[in-house]
Amino acid sequence: MPAITEKIMKIIFWLSGMAIIFFLAGIMFTLLSNSIPAFEEIGLKPFFTDGVWRPSAFAEPTYSLLNMIMGTFMVTAGALAFAVPVGIAAAAYLSEIASPWEREFFKPIVEILAGIPSVVLGFIGLVVLAPLLAAVFNIPSGINALNGAILVGVMALPTIITLAEDAITAVPGEYRHASLALGATRWQTIWKVTIPAAFSGISAAVMLGMGRAIGETMTVLMVTGNMIARPTSYLDSVRTLSANIAVEIGDVVFNSLHFHALFVVGLVLFMITFIVNLMADILIHRKPEVNR
Amino acid sequence: MNRNKNISSVREWKGAELAGCWLLRFSLILVLFILGFIIYDLVSKGLEVINWEFLSDSPRVGMTEGGILPAIIGTFYVTLITIAFAVPFGVAAAIYLNEYAVQGRITRLVRMALRNLAGVPSIVFGLFGMAVFVKLFGFGPSLIAAGFTLGLLTLPVTVTAAEEALSTVPRSYREGSFALGATRWQVVRTVVLPRAMPGILTGTILGLARAAGETAPILATGAAFFLPYLPDSVFSQFMALPYHLFIMSTQHHDIAAVRPIAYGTALVLVVLVFFLNLVAVVLRRRFRSRAAKGL
């Protein structure tokens, strides 16, 4: 009897492990298979040629993703422009300078920030940041790409800080001591020795933060205005790939062309984040700088 | 990690270096400020609408009055389903990775899939849930479709936490049991799992916190704008706190009038998520210190 239980349990656990691969593959397959009818009907080109996304237009629906890709790019780039320097500086401080007391104090703060639901950040963007931006830039509404970029930057910060700190902490103490012994100042040691030694780990942190920023949905949906026109500046309203799905997923007709086109948007979004995460993965597991 | 490898204490920094040090420190103070501001804003404006009626009543008069009880209950139900899906799966997958599998190409592939699953945007989970659970399986927009969708999303959290918990159980425990003639499943069931339980619980709670705050995956898998009744089966639609906040701040016909309700909802949601995270952190700390002592 026990031998049979033993076999059954082994199979159950094996299946559960394989299920993880199956789920990821299932997501890919679902996105792809639901996109194919759209590709068959309208082809690949209309998605990537100049124009706007107007799939439910009565007369002549158009399916260009370009403005949305640009919107995603603007929000992500803006978010990283703010979150990367702040995040790396915070990680360097936590790892290299902070006293144990400061570390005990600041690390939970970073974790709490990571725990704030994105819909709550979106709400804050709506009620606090939008009026503030409107006043600062003297524009009628602060619902724009800049608002989204700032909030998504806040969302990406905890990811970048935590992972970059791990990477910097993992640099062996000898590196620092050697640098100091050669007469480098502490500041030089941090910027010329420690951080370069942790470079691939820090890049991975940035990539994962970027992955989060690209996929972030609710915050962006609530604060960027979701206009389909081509944005010309950060003070314009933009619509990102993720927000576009969220806007239209509620009332799209099942199995319509619009439905399948929406999966094309999902597929593009998935592929972008997949590649970014894969690059982060490769960077994390390279760790060539620590040869002991 | 080595905690005493700091180059020096801040007190020894001087001149330009001290300025640089403060520049770095300022970035953390900025993080603190952002968090402090968010919490201050939510508490100062949310607290005034939160009373017993707000927590125990349904929305009334076109959602401009009344409370958020159905949203609290809906979030409670959907996270229960999430956990019922994600925890057994997550623990079993972690047992496979940590106890059964020979470490090699396949486990590397599973772990890579796990990390990529963690990076899939939440709205893509929403699309998947709608196509598979709502349509293909025919659940319709429901608690179970949304719960399964959120379950997939939280799977990386539960697997990672369970694996960490399993790996803190000393090898000698397993070897001792094997030496006494126990089979692998007996070892896992009677020795490893009980020791790893607090860590698994931590992961479960972290998963709960994550699922409770997610909005995008439930947009089209079961969350309802407004329901006059509470869900009565797993196939019912439901109201949920994050979705309610989204509606009250962007979709309601009189956004300005319902702003206080939105603040109250946001505060309840944040308090719930913080509370769950806090429990998880406390549990993890106790668990880790016990593991460090080798008890």
Q: Search chain A and give the residue with CA nearest B260.
A: A127
Condensed to tens digits (0 to 9), the pLDDT of residues A93-117 reads: 999 888 888 888 888 889 889 999 9
A62-284 — its CATH code?
1.10.3720.10
pLDDT value, residue A136:
93
What is the dihedral sign for C-alpha A34, A248, A256, B223? positive
Binary contact (B7, A176; C-beta < 8 A)? yes
Q: Is B65 helix (H, G, I), strand (E, B) or coil?
A: strand
Residues in CB range of B4: below 8 A, 6 or more apart: none
pLDDT value, residue B225:
84
Computed over every residue of chain A, the mean pLDDT equals: 90
Query: Are B212 and B76 a contacting pair, CB within 8 Å?
Result: no
Backbone dihedral angles phi then psi of residue A60, each to the nearest 5 degrees: -135, 90
Q: Search chain A and give the residue with CA nearest B45.
A: A127
CA distance A253 to chain B (A): 12
A124 to A20, A156, A210, A252, B213: CA distances (angstroms): 35, 16, 22, 29, 15
Computed over every residue of chain B, the mean pLDDT equals: 88
**Strand-pair category, A62-63 with A53-54:** antiparallel
Binary contact (A17, B281; C-beta < 8 A)? no
pLDDT value, residue B4:
45
Q: Does domain B52-293 have CATH number 3.30.70.2190?
A: no
pLDDT value, residue B6:
53
Please give chain A's pLDDT, 292 residues, in tens: 578 888 999 999 999 999 999 999 999 999 999 999 999 888 888 888 888 888 877 778 888 899 999 999 999 999 999 999 999 999 999 998 888 888 888 888 898 899 999 999 999 999 999 999 999 999 988 899 999 999 999 999 999 999 999 999 999 989 999 998 998 888 889 989 999 999 989 999 999 999 999 999 999 999 999 988 888 889 999 999 999 999 999 888 888 889 999 999 999 999 999 999 989 888 887 755 554 4
pLDDT value, residue B293:
65
Q: Which residues in B lie closer than 8 A to residue A169 (C-beta atoms)?
A: 1
CA distance A131 to chain B (A): 14
In terms of Cα–Cα distance, which of A208, B3, A203, A278 is closest to A195? A203
Taking the model in full, what pTM does it have?
A: 0.91
Query: Are A120 and B245 a contacting pair, CB within 8 Å?
Result: yes
pLDDT value, residue B134:
93
Mean pLDDT per 10-residue run, chain B (295 residues)? Answer: 49 73 89 94 92 84 81 94 93 93 89 92 95 93 95 93 89 90 89 89 89 92 84 90 93 85 94 91 78 62
Condensed to tens digits (0 to 9), the pLDDT of residues A140-166 reads: 888 999 999 999 999 999 999 999 999
The domain ranges of chain B are: 11-46, 52-293
Q: Which residues in B lie closer than 8 A to residue A276 (C-beta atoms)?
A: 119
Of A113, A215, A277, the CB nearest to B122: A215
Type and span of the H or E element at B60 = strand B59-60
CA distance A211 to chain B (A): 7
